[in-house]
Structure 1
Amino acid sequence: MTDGSGTRRQPTSEEREGVFRAVFAQTAVGVAQVISRTGAFVRINRRYAEILGYTVAEMENLTFQAITHAEDLEEDLANMRRLLAGEIHEFALEERYYHKNGSIVWVNLTVSPMWAIGEEPDYHLAIVEDITLRKQTERALRESEGKLREAQRMARLGNWYWDVSSGNVEWSEEVYRIFQLDPKEFTPQIDSIQALSPWPEDHERDKELIQRALASREQGSHEQRFLGPDGSIGYCFSIFQGVYDDDGDLLAIKGTVQDVTEHRRAEQNYQTLFSEMLNGFALHEVIRDEQGRPVDFRYLAVNPAFERLTGLKAKDVAEKTMLEMMPGTENSFIDTLGHVALSGEPASLDRYVPPLDRYYTVTAFQPAPNQLAVIFDDITDRKRAERQREELIARLEAQNAELERFTYTVSHDLKSPLITIKGYIGLLSEALEGVGPESVHGDLERISSAADKMGMLLEDLLELSRIGRLINPPEDVPVAALVDDALTLLRGRLEEMPVEIAVEPDLPVLRGDRTRLLEIFQNLIDNSVKYMGPQPKPRIEIGARRDGNETVYYVRDNGIGIEPRFQEKVFGLFDQLDPKAEGTGIGLALVKRIVEIHGGRIWIESEGKGRGSTFCFVIPNSK
């Protein structure tokens, strides 16, 4: 500063204050004069107030402690204590302030003392620069990098950069993970990278692909094998691009590498399955008409089982259509496959192929848009066996019906002469009463007894011939009512022994022909009485139990029991374990037939001779 004569002079204190005020007010950063020991603002410029959203007047009523974030305040105060103690001459740090609206403002704070060394500390100068935008950018960048790393980790995708002039190679974290290498122990260089793939033929192929891509200035790609630290073989897929200067010279090559080991192994497994599977497989391209409706299917690939099951060779069907190879294919089959191709819904069906004279079970599905896959198996033998079985069943049913008619006819026709025989025996007995030798009367009694037994046998045969059909339409019948009716019919027989009868309460309901269902319980109870043996306290229990989803009905006795080797035999026609026992041996055969025509099954539970027997049966639709 000069006077009027041009002589340089020192500025006055008023002039220095004016310059300070001008700089203080106009500077682009926030500036404040602060009482060092209290933190109160003495003077503050407009920019400082703007950073925090206050007016200058409002700021002059605050302290720096009030605007400093609670988590940053202690570091700020610690630096102030060191400044006041003369341990440091200034300090700078990044910290957070509270904006007037409650948001956070990041600032770069520089604090300098306004007292000279040796003077008593009074004021300090605080200069703040708003760095909120920079902090937000840094945070967004960190988050973006974190998301990129996470995306690469999830996709098993890494990136790399090769500086051609220096030979340096940079890998992202994921590349190290793909090759199962430790960044602290492995330095990526061209030689060390090639050593990861110890197959010369792969190197030559990859080199050719890279040179071709660089020559065309286009993006290139290749898949390569690599050897893991444990000796396992992995697969990776690389995409790369050259980086060039303004003169077109190659500076670097950058690219990505993705671990495709699992995909490649799955593909190998698929190829193995494709080749080894027993089912035939064919992949087709969908052929459409002008309206977009599928009208035919072109073969894209078939497996060896296709050749074996159809007799057609892969080379013969290549690029041919289904109708070209099998012109007799019915329209309904084409329509079914077309629906699969349009809707994507799989379909299964059995079909006969006239040109091949074979039956197949076919499943069709859509593996990709405009494609159709068919899996099939040859069921010709099964179909023919089913047809033979149906024919055999039909013949057996016809023969069985004929046998039933024969049994009914014979039984019915024999009853008439039997009645005549019985009548004449009666007349002859009356005529000889009191006359003739005693042996004649004995012979007549034996003839009469034989005729009675023959009559019983004929009645049972007639009944057996009727069992093949239900007499009445099915109805819901309470089992308790069936048991009561059976006990009533057998009352006289039960009272002769006498037998203790125990009937379980709350028995379920059976659905079926009431008359036939009654015969089941009547015959089973009668059989238990018949084979009770010399039991001092004869007892019969009738009840039901749950066994999984089924209701098992039973008639249990404490009679003579049945050895396991005879338990199936008792249901045979005319089979009696005791030839001296009364009856014809048809009763249990009748029960078995009745249970079976109701769709059920019957069996015996017995621990053996002298341990009693339990006859169990199941009939569906029990309630």
Structure 2
Amino acid sequence: MKIDTAGSRAEATDKLNASFYDVIVTDYSMDGIALLKTARSKDPEIPFILLIDFDEGAISEALKYGAEHCFKGRDRGVFFSDLDHRIRKAVEWRRERVLHQELDERHRALLQSLPAITFSSSLDFVPTSIRGKVEEITGYTKEEISSCNPSWGQIIHPDEFLWLRPKMDGARAGSLNISENEYRIVRKDGEVAWVHELVQIVCEGPGHSAKVEGVLYDITFRKRTEAALKDSESRYRELAGLLPLIAFELDLEGRVTFYNQKGLEVFGYSPEDLRRGLTIFDVIVNDDPDELEGGFRLALKGVCPDYELLMKRKDGSAFPTIIKTAPIIRDGHPSGLRGIIVDISERKEMEEALRESERFYRTIIEDQTDLICRFRPDGVITFANDAYYRYFGKTREELIGQTFMPLIPEEDQEMVRQKFSSLSRDSPLTSYEHRVVLPGGLVRWQRWTDRAIFDDSGELVEFQSVGQDITEKKKLDDELRRAHKRLMDIIGFLPDATFVVDEDRRVIAWNRAIEDMTGVRKEEIIGEGDYAYAEPFYGSKKPMLVDLIFLDDEDTASHYDRVIKKGKDIFGEVFAPTLYGGRGSHLWAVASPLFDDEGRVVGAIESIRDVTERKRAEKMLQRAHHELEARVAERTRELEAKNAEMERFVYTVSHDLRSPLVTIQGFLGFLKEDVRDRDVEKIDADIEMISDAVKNMDYLLQDTLRLSRIGRVANPPEAVPFGEIVRGALGLVSEMARSKGVEISTAEGWPILHVDRLRIREVLVNLIENGIRYSAGRPRPLVEVGWRKDDEETVFFVRDNGIGINPGQQEKVFELFYKADPEGEGTGAGLAIVKRIIEVHGGRIWVESEEGEGSTFCFTLPVVD
């Protein structure tokens, strides 16, 4: 109950204008009658209690304006008790009056808005008046109902008419004044509808007959809803039976009217126990029944929070629970409680385990060598472990409640603040390094990892930090950086093109030599991965030799001409087509893994050398080798031919030299006899024969010596026009040609040769003399010296129109001491010598001839382009 007070009539009037009150209480002596008049002018029905002494005039005025009066001049206890009774009674009347007014207004509005029919009829239920939504509810028109076509009894559902008829008969007999019924009707379209009927017997006075008045509402929707609710409640009961929680319902006295199956199992009760009147108080462990009763009443009002209660089973064993309840509201009033009970035994055990764990981990934190602390957003420390206190040389009292910022040099403080301000719920972690100043002014380095802690609303409430002293690590890092720089400098100045990748195969070093080789600057490639280092070599991103350190890729290895593994190192040779502006280059590379202190591969290095010149030299050497092999094979064939020739030569020499010796030996015998006989004529003949044999032997020996000398260097080869050699040869044979009457013709436009001038002149002299010798005596004897082109080959020739050579002899004419005409001049060594000279110069010789048609001796020699 709310009470307002006022110190004057004016203040009370202002409050009446501003608010609604259930009752006004004032003293007569405080201008109470004037306030009463004002109140009545604003609200004629507001209860008014006037406090007066026993004064008939005051009592008369109070009664005149409809106010109650209460005497002050009595025992104080009696006075206040009487005043309390009057106020409560007035408030109750006032609120009931207001409620009735509201109900009347609502009822009228409801009748206007709801599908309803108001009617009046005779006691025989013949309609005399009917209004409202007749056709909407029944399907019949007002005229059809008013003319009893059909009658109301025919509209009522047959099953309902059986129990309604006695009530209708009672109304006719006047024994039933008011009746309220719900029943079914059959609409004109045959559909069944539900209606709620409120009727009463009305008699307006003497001389008036009684009649029936009533109102009828369409409650079809409500009935369907109730049916659905019953079905829903049935499903609710079934679902409650399946819940893993305990579901229950209580009546207003706390009796358990429902337990689901889980509840029966947990508490150990049976449905029979519920029927015997089991209450909620029987299963709660509590020694204060008043507290239980008070909590139950609060729960019925819906203001009871969730409770943690210790409950007990039928066997007396207790277990912790959380109970959640809601009042069951029926017809606007609580009719009981409905709720669930959660067994939190496991949660309690977990909470205890959590507390134990917290104690355990707090002990661990306190024993940590890392610095651990928590602090508010303003930097004020709320917790720190012992290591933190020891590190800074301060006590708990000196640090807790103080900000840590004074421990950090001013030049580092702004960076730390920025780190704090960068944290959010989505990104709550950060790490950073800064310096601290210890007592005594010693400066140390620390590394901190901070986590921002937010509440459920997203508000930053605290930071938790873990730190380490990294002073020594910073020194080591500086040393490592210097060592790394020295290593990078060494790699940078390596003569071979070299690059280094990390374990993710990103480039971390790219020296000057590889910059020169690829044209890619270090700044363009450092940090790049995804095989970017291969593009300058191959024009595309693909694995290189260095990648074989990380993976066994047969496809990558197949790109190389050869790959060799020696221990941890991998060697490879490949042609890189896009180097040097697309000219390409042959490369020899070696890749090696890089290891950390634990032997884990953390990167790889590849050094590359351009071996194009070496490859070119190898190819030239290989070509020279092949040429040498060919020349050796050719020389071998020549030697084999020369050996065969030598065999023939030795045989021929031995045979041909033997013939003069036999002659000499024979004629020496003759000479001996002729000397003994002193036959001077025969002696001269014998001596002449012996002399001829000696000359013949001398010729044979000279030709043999000449043949043996061919192949030795007489004169170095030189570039000489072939015409000069021809003219030199003609000068040596011209007398012979003239004496035998043979004409010699020569060609023009001779090519230049690279030959031994004297040896080739010897060839021409021999061939021309043979031509003169075998064409002499022929009509118009002629020897031609010329040259021709057979395809790409230059062929020189000496042609005569002599007797020709039988085809069967054409191969033999070049054999040593072979004579086509045994009676002819010479030893038969000339053409063998010619053939030997031509072959020594790298040429070849052959004869084209038909018997009786002359002969053409053809040969080739090296021509200068």
TM-score bucket of the superposed structures, by smaller chain: 0.3 to 0.5
Q: Relative contact order (C-alpha < 8 Å, sep 6+): which is higher? A: 1
Which of 1 and 2 has greater Rg? 2
TM-score of the aligned structures, taking structure 1 as reference length: 0.38
